Amino acid sequence: MSLEKSLKKPQPPETKPGPNINQQIAALEALLFVAGDAVSATDLGRALEAEPGWLEELIAALNADYEAQERGLRVFRHNGQVQLVTAPQVASYVERFLGLQSANKLSAAALETLIIIAYRQPVTRAVVETVRGVDSSGVINTLQARGLIEEVGRAETVGHPVLFGTTFEFLHQFGLSSLKDLPPMEGFSLPGETAQQKTVSP
């Protein structure tokens, strides 16, 4: 055997091609489907081995695909959480399928309270009651039970009262992608609110 044949040239290590964007979008969809509930963007990024910026690109691409094909699903983001949800335009079909009754809809008092919290959040119960002019403990408990509002912190005032804000479920129920999609406050006053009070809204 010749020396030339006996000395084999080193071969480069085998490398596996990384997943293409379509594979990653499919994987993102599968993970959100399996999770069912909202999951953290951090966990999704780890599972997909995707940097935060690239994960945002994947979410945007998946949503764009859903919208272009008028599919019945959307990807919602809120406070670092991601969830696969139904599209607003199919809500009536979903409600009919689930047998939701009109009795399950929010009362006028609950809707009024939810509006105040949505526009003034984070807000304390005392502020809600000042705006409404009535005790709001019951409706706040109802909204919490429905998963539409949650405790988001404590006010830096005497007694450190609970601060309330809206939830991911609130966005889902009202077909919003973020709080920025709420109708503008111009020309709109909250129940019981004066023009002067309205100017301090966040």
CATH number for the domain whose boundaries are 21-91: 1.10.10.10
Between CA 48 and CA 45 the distance in angstroms is 5
On whether the CB atoms of residues 164 and 140 are closer than 8 A, the answer is yes
Number of neighbouring beta carbons within 10 Å of residue 194: 10
Fold adopted by 106-198: Arc Repressor Mutant, subunit A (1.10.10)
How much is the average pLDDT of 165-180? Answer: 85
Residue 125 identity (one-letter amino acid): R
| E strand or H helix that includes residue 120 | helix 108-120
Rounded to 10 degrees, the C-alpha dihedral 56/61/62/68 comes to: 150
- C-alpha 170: how far from its chain's center? 8
Confidence of residue 150 (pLDDT cuts 50, 70, 90): very high
- Residue 98 predicted with pLDDT over 70: no
- Residue 74 predicted with pLDDT over 70: yes
pLDDT at 123: 93
Confidence of residue 143 (pLDDT cuts 50, 70, 90): very high
DSSP state of 30: H
How much is the average pLDDT of 47-74? Answer: 90
Confidence of residue 190 (pLDDT cuts 50, 70, 90): low
Q: Where in the chain is the domain with CATH 1.10.10.10?
A: 21-91, 106-198
pLDDT at 145: 85
pLDDT at 108: 86
- Residue 162 predicted with pLDDT over 60: yes
How much is the average pLDDT of 192-199? Answer: 45
**Structure token pair of residue 76:** 């919602």
